[in-house]
Structure 1
């Protein structure tokens, strides 16, 4: 099974559209979204429309939660909130119903492999799981979450890290960050998503049996920059996109 993981679209429709084309070309079996559909850009409604149209299972990112809170509280408009106040009510209702995580179980031969999809971490959608996080802390997260594969977003920096509890167990843990579709922060402005392959050879006891591939997709950043500059959004969002910071 080929699983496409997308995250942190942040209302960047041109990036999202090109990413979906790439995903379709790769003939994946299913797409999951780790949240943050909105914020930083001018196309939140179009992005949410496409997510709903394709029925992509999606979890709530911290910006999705923020959008719901701002619209329910009717916060006065300013540059920091305008990206959330342009979201249609029916889409706010959609965002408010998104789950905090998605748990998957794959039955393979006489064993099983568990995968947990989160935005930030299993504990909070605002917690950052960076690649250099202390190994013992990460292993503790895996054990408390009872999962073998933990897939997250939020940092906007893609990586695949394989851990083992001090070689005491043959069970390997896979920590995967899918990067960001609409606002990368790794110095590469191209959209990023991940493809995870689970098949009959997949085993938590064989660290090489879980395949993770990161796909970078070029899109029209100039179009996005112009849209931001012609909106009420802060112009520094353009520099963040171009420099991927």
Structure 2
């Protein structure tokens, strides 16, 4: 059985469509979505509509939650934009997304979540250090994972960095970001950037045979990122423009 893993679309409909087309060419059995679906100065409502029609197994990201719940200064520009453009049904769909979800893939138990199983806004496999995200040590990742209820595969997003770790017999996969290859988080005291260094849309495919993980493939897909950058530019978001065009935050 083969599962495609998408995450961190952030309203980038063009990147999502390119990834979905690529997935369709690979004989995938199931696609799962790890959240942060619509928040971004791009196409939030159109992305929500597409995802609702697909009805993929999906979990909530931190920005999904903020679009629905945050108020005042806690509501970032991209979250506010998404809230304004989503219709009532789309906001209800977003609010109903679960924080985590368990599925079975070819006899292998899999847990889906956005950041960690218990916190949608804490990095699982990274720590902010000297302004960048670096890989966490095994003990830290184990503590953040907690009890996975016997799952042998854990799928997460949030950092936008494609990553594969094996910790105490559990394989942990972050597919990278479909729609935002770089960002800057100015939140003190650990302000940092995340950047993959290219503008491609990212996702991953896992293959399970007889209850065991056989392979993990990380995929980078070209799409019309100039059109996406132009859309962000129209909203005055120079930070997004640079990230979408280059995959670098600075």
Indicate the TM-score class for this superposition, using the shorter chain for normalisation: 0.7 to 0.9
Alpha carbons 2:18, 2:222 under 8 Å: kept: yes
Q: Distance in 2 between matches of 1:118 and 1:89?
A: 25
CA-CA distance at 1:142 after TM superposition: 4.5
Alpha-carbon distance, 1:40 to partner: 1.8
Q: How many angstroms does 1:235 deviate by?
A: 2.5
State whether structure 2 residue 226 is matched by structure 1 residue 215: no
Distance 1:12 1:31 in 2: 17
Instruction: With the length of structure 2 as denominator, give the TM-score of the two structures.
Output: 0.82
User: Do residues 241 (structure 1) and 236 (structure 2) align?
Assistant: no
Is the CA contact (8 Å cut-off) linking 1:142 and 1:148 kept in structure 2?
A: no
**Pick aligned residue for 2:234 from 226, 230, 234:** 230
Alpha-carbon separation, structure 1, partners of 2:146 and 2:91: 34
1:22-61 map, 5 Å: 22-61=22-61
CA distance in 2, matches of 1:52, 1:31: 13
Q: Which runs of 5+ in 1 are unaligned?
A: 165-171, 204-208
Match in the other structure for 1:168: none
Runs of 4 or more consecutive aligned structure 1 residues displaced over 6 Å after TM superposition: none
For normalisation by structure 1, the TM-score amounts to: 0.84
Q: Is the 8 A contact 1:79 1:234 kept in 2?
A: no
Q: SS at 1:67's partner residue?
A: helix
CA spacing shift, 1:213–1:90, aligned 2, 3 Å:
same
Which has the larger Rg?
1
3-state SS of 1:198 partner: strand
Give, in whole Å, the separation in 2 of the partners of 1:142 and 1:83: 30
State the alpha-carbon separation in 2 of the partners of residues 74 and 90 from structure 1. 23
User: What is the aligned partner in structure 2 of residue 169 from structure 1?
Assistant: none
Partner of 2:155: 151
Deviations 1:208-236 (A, max 9, x none): x43110111001111111112223x5232
What is the number of equivalent residue pairs in this alignment? Answer: 225
Which residue does 2:125 correspond to in 1? 130
Give yes or no for the alignment of 1:191 onto 2:201: yes
Q: What SS does structure 1 have at the residue aligned with 2:155?
A: strand
Structure 2: 5+ residue stretches without partners: 127-134, 182-194
Matches within 5 A, 1:66-77: 66-70=66-70
Instruction: Tell me the secondary structure at the aligned position of residue 210 of structure 1.
Output: strand
